[in-house]
């Protein structure tokens, strides 16, 4: 593995617990073979019974969705294929499966977690295989492909996108109605959301309401694709105007009278879903789906993810789930046929209708998002697509060290009266000290 690849792999091992086909001269799959001529789709379908296995890294897809989006479509389109799932759990961890020589045909995981897969050297350059199976990469959102292409140093393509995760701002209408405050709108900046939240941060009948919880600085920083570490110098990059801008939003949010209560500053999903005291907070689209039971009976809705005024249409960094064929698969052609089925227009439309965002460019698929889910009826779910995912920041093996400190600085922002420049300078000093101590 190259130095760059190793760095990204190390980073993924530290952060995994958190959540156009490029051209090039490198031989596909490491085989050195001449690219095979394109074949008709029907020529590549498995003619004999075959079992295709898939590793579910960090269990990023539920059993229910596996049945809906993979198993059932395969029964219809590829009757000779039997699909089996292996979960990330005790006895089937990535390294253990590799050590036992028992890894699967397919890998399923996020683009953020992919480097840990590369760390065990299972990545397979799929370019020749994609050509032979007539994979049309122009169907996919360019940013979803670019997030995967980042891992190919010589043009390799190690996977294809499967689904996307978008961010938005969720809000509790009942709190707004209680105080006669207008609901948030699509296209708001962070500053506008803070001012709106200020009108809702108050006590009523013994309940302390919080207008807006900004969540984590690292999530907000991803809206600017901010880096954490200068790899060559082994120094922190947090002392920048951009990071100062992000932390300034938190300082403004925490400075709203009544927000910080007895040192408490992080209200999060419990404050919104359980206590029903938080009026607004950022949230991922898949979190909304996963909180289906908690949201029952709540008068909620969403608007587009808040932005910085300099980049009014930019959301968080790309967050996709992807599928990759492993080097050890003995059924690569059959595995590619599986990928073709589950990235087809039909399956991607069904996914979108059931609340899992597609990676295809088709507008009709986007417009159908959540249309078959009762919980989404009458909701502003198209707000998810009103910001565009940003390019991932430059990844280093020590990002996790600095990320933790950046998120932890919230406590200092909430508890101390220090000015922003002092907070940033101290954060830089702490980060550099930790970086020096970390091998």
Same domain assignment for residues 237 and 90: no
pLDDT tens-digit map of 105-130: 999 999 988 888 988 999 999 999 99
Cα dihedral 373→376→382→384 (10° resolution): -100
Token digits of residue 40: 């008709």
Q: What is the CA 221 to chain-centroid distance, rounded? A: 14
Token digits of residue 164: 């996307």
Same domain assignment for residues 341 and 283: no
pLDDT tens-digit map of 8-19: 444 444 443 333
* Domain coverage including residue 198: 167-316+394-437
359 pLDDT exceeds 90? yes
- Residue 244 inside a domain? The answer is yes
Over range 93-110, report the average pLDDT: 90
Same domain assignment for residues 21 and 55: yes
Same domain assignment for residues 142 and 257: no
Same domain assignment for residues 27 and 121: yes
Do strands 314-317 and 388-390 pair parallel, antiparallel, or not at all (unpaired)?
A: parallel
Confidence category of residue 88, pLDDT binned at 50, 70, 90: confident
More confident residue, 233 or 439: 233
- Residue 30 inside a domain? The answer is yes
Burial class (CB in 10 A: 0-12, 13-18, 19+), 364: exposed
Same domain assignment for residues 58 and 134: yes
- Residue 384 inside a domain? The answer is no
2 pLDDT exceeds 60? no
Over range 240-251, report the average pLDDT: 96
Please state the domain count of the chain.
Answer: 2
Confidence category of residue 91, pLDDT binned at 50, 70, 90: low
Same domain assignment for residues 348 and 399: no
Highest-confidence segment of 84-93, 111-120, 384-393:
384-393
38 pLDDT exceeds 60? no
- Residue 88 inside a domain? The answer is yes
Burial class (CB in 10 A: 0-12, 13-18, 19+), 221: buried
- Residue 38 inside a domain? The answer is yes
Alpha helices in 285-326 (DSSP H): 285-290, 292-295
Cα separation of 342 and 108, whole Å? 12
Same domain assignment for residues 160 and 178: no
What pLDDT, on the 0 to 100 scale, is given for residue 300? 98
**E-state strands within 182-334:** 203-204, 207-208, 229-230, 235-236, 280-284, 300-304, 314-317, 320-325
Same domain assignment for residues 93 and 133: yes
Cβ 394 vs Cβ 227: under 8 Å: yes
- Residue 383 inside a domain? The answer is no
Same domain assignment for residues 44 and 149: yes
Same domain assignment for residues 229 and 296: yes
- Residue 380 inside a domain? The answer is no
- Residue 367 inside a domain? The answer is no
What pLDDT, on the 0 to 100 scale, is given for residue 11? 44
Cβ neighbours of 2 (radius 10 Å): 9
**CATH code for position 283:** 3.40.190.10
Same domain assignment for residues 192 and 226: yes
């Amino acid at each position: 593995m190259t130095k760059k690849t190793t760095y990204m792999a190390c980073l993924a091992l530290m952060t995994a617990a958190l959540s156009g086909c490029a051209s090039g001269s490198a031989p596909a799959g490491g085989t050195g073979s001449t690219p095979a001529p394109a074949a008709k789709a029907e020529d590549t379908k498995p003619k004999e019974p075959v079992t295709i296995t898939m590793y579910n890294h960090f269990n990023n897809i539920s059993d229910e969705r596996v049945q809906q989006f993979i198993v059932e479509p395969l029964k219809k389109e590829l009757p000779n294929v039997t699909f089996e799932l292996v979960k990330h759990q005790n006895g089937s961890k990535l390294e253990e499966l590799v050590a036992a020589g028992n890894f699967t045909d397919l890998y399923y995981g996020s683009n953020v977690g992919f480097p840990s897969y590369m760390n065990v050297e299972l990545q397979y350059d799929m370019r020749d295989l994609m050509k032979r199976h007539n994979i049309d990469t122009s169907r996919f959102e360019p940013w979803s492909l670019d997030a995967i292409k980042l891992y190919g140093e010589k043009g390799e393509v190690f996977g294809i996108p499967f689904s996307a995760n978008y961010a938005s701002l969720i809000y509790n209408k009942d709190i707004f109605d209680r105080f006669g405050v207008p609901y948030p709108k699509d296209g708001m900046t962070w500053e506008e959301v803070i001012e709106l939240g200020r009108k809702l941060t108050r006590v009523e009948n013994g309940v302390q309401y919080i207008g807006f919880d900004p969540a984590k600085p690292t999530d907000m920083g991803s809206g600017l694709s901010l880096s954490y570490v200068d790899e060559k110098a082994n120094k922190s990059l947090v002392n920048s105007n951009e990071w100062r801008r992000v932390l300034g939003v938190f300082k403004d949010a925490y400075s709203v009278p009544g927000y910080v209560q007895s040192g408490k500053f992080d209200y999060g999903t419990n404050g919104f879903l359980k206590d029903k005291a938080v009026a607004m907070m950022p949230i991922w689209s898949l979190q909304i789906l996963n909180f289906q039971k908690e949201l029952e009976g709540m008068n909620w809705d969403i608007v587009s993810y808040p932005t910085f005024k300099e980049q009014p249409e930019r959301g968080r960094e790309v967050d996709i789930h992807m599928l990759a064929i492993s080097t050890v698969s003995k059924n690569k052609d059959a595995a590619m046929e599986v990928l073709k089925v589950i990235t087809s227009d039909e399956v991607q439309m069904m996914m979108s209708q059931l609340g899992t965002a597609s990676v295809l460019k088709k507008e009709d698929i986007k417009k159908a998002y959540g249309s078959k889910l009762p919980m989404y009826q009458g909701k502003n779910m198209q707000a998810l697509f009103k910001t565009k995912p940003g390019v991932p920041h430059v990844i280093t093996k020590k990002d996790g060290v600095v990320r933790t400190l950046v998120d932890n600085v919230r406590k200092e922002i909430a508890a101390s009266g220090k000015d922003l420049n002092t907070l940033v300078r101290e954060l830089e000093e702490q980060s550099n000290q930790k970086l020096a101590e970390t091998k």
